[in-house]
Every structure is written in structure tokens, then in C-alpha cells.
């Protein structure tokens, strides 16, 4: 049992580094999605009402809206991930 605890303590810095990398990747993907959303808003203002209405009736628009809804759930998961990351980091700091 002690050996597994020691192994866990040794692995923690690698786990923490991997978790931090995952977090930065997730953040970059979210920033890209937010930039795309902002661009769509600007483009929608540039289009006339008929074109905008036609665009919002497409399957692609529905997929986009579904993606936006899923991001709300993802944000909650990211907050939990950040809390876990902080816990791992604190445990790693305490071990050293």
C-alpha cells in the first residue's frame, strides 16, 4: 500500500503537467469558438433580413445552436476540471 502511495506521489507532477496541457488546449478551443460566434454576429448584422432568415433555417445553423448549448454544459465541466487541477497542484506542492 505504501508503494502505491509513493508511486502516486512520483506520478503527480507528470499528471499535473498533462492536466495543465489539457486545460490550455481546452481554453484555446473555447476561444476559437467564441471568436467564431462573434464573427457570426457581425456577419448576421451585415446580411439583409431575408438572407439571415434563410440561414437560420439550415441544418448547419441548428448544429451551431446545439454546439452553443453544449458549451454551457462544457463550461460547468471545465470549472470542475479546474477545481481538480488545483487540488492536484496543491497535493503536488504539499508532497514537495
pLDDT tens-digit map of 33-92? 899 989 988 998 899 999 989 999 999 999 999 998 998 898 899 889 888 888 888 887
Which residues have C-beta within 8 Å of that of residue 40, sequence separation ≥ 6?
64
* Whole-number Å distance between alpha carbons of 90 and 21: 17
Phi–psi pair at 57, nearest 5 degrees: -95, 5
Task: Tell me how far apart the alpha carbons of residues 39 and 36 are, in angstroms, rounded to a whole number.
Answer: 5
Report if pTM > 0.85. Answer: no
DSSP state of 20: H
Amino acid at each position: 500500500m505504501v508503494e502505491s502511495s509513493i508511486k502516486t506521489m512520483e506520478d503527480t507532477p507528470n499528471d499535473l503537467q498533462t492536466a495543465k496541457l489539457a486545460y490550455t488546449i481546452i481554453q484555446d478551443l473555447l476561444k476559437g469558438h467564441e471568436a467564431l460566434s462573434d464573427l457570426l454576429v457581425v456577419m448576421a448584422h451585415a446580411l439583409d433580413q431575408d438572407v439571415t432568415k434563410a440561414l437560420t433555417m439550415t441544418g448547419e445553423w441548428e448544429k451551431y445552436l446545439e454546439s452553443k448549448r453544449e458549451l454551457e454544459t462544457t463550461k460547468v465541466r471545465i470549472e470542475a476540471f479546474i477545481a481538480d487541477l488545483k487540488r492536484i497542484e496543491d497535493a503536488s506542492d504539499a508532497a514537495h
